[in-house]
Amino acid sequence: MTKAILDSNFLVALIDEKDKWRKSAISIQKALKKKNARLVYLDCAVNEMISVIARRLEEKGRSQEFDLALQRIEQAIPAESISWIYPEVRRLYPDILAVIKEHKGKLNFHDALMVLAAREMDIPHVVSFDQDFDEVDGIDRISKL
């Protein structure tokens, strides 16, 4: 069975109907469901997705859509389906910084945390539109069908 961590930009595209990656995200999601892939929602990606959507809707004058967006998030990603890795940040902190340094800052803190979670959870795939994951050994980025 394919296992894949879902990055925040992929999750944003699934929720925000006006996102530039929306069609690609829906196609990827359908293909992964067809393969019975195990989709992993990390708390850091969900956190980032909610923050991005809130900021984006406010900046675009669409604040009135936030309640509906949050409702869709809660339906799509119930708390019990989230893998909680933030408690591991204290232990992983030196390794997170090492991954960031290794990639010369191209990966941000959350991305480095996702890389380490993927390694620890033995998950070879990250669904993301962020090309920086292409530079990470042992991670196969899924960005199209």
Distance (Å, whole) CA 124 – CA 4? 7
Under-70 pLDDT residues of the chain? 1
What phi and psi, each to the nearest 5 degrees, are found at residue 14? -70, -30
Q: Give the start-to-end residue ranges of the domains of the chain.
A: 3-142
Cα dihedral: 25, 53, 47, 144 (round 10):
10
Distance (Å, whole) CA 64 – CA 31? 32
Which residue type occupies 105?
G
Fold observed for domain 3-142: Rossmann fold (3.40.50)
User: pLDDT digit string (tens) for 66-95?
Assistant: 999 999 999 999 999 999 999 999 999 999
Residue 145 pLDDT:
73
Distance (Å, whole) CA 131 – CA 80? 29
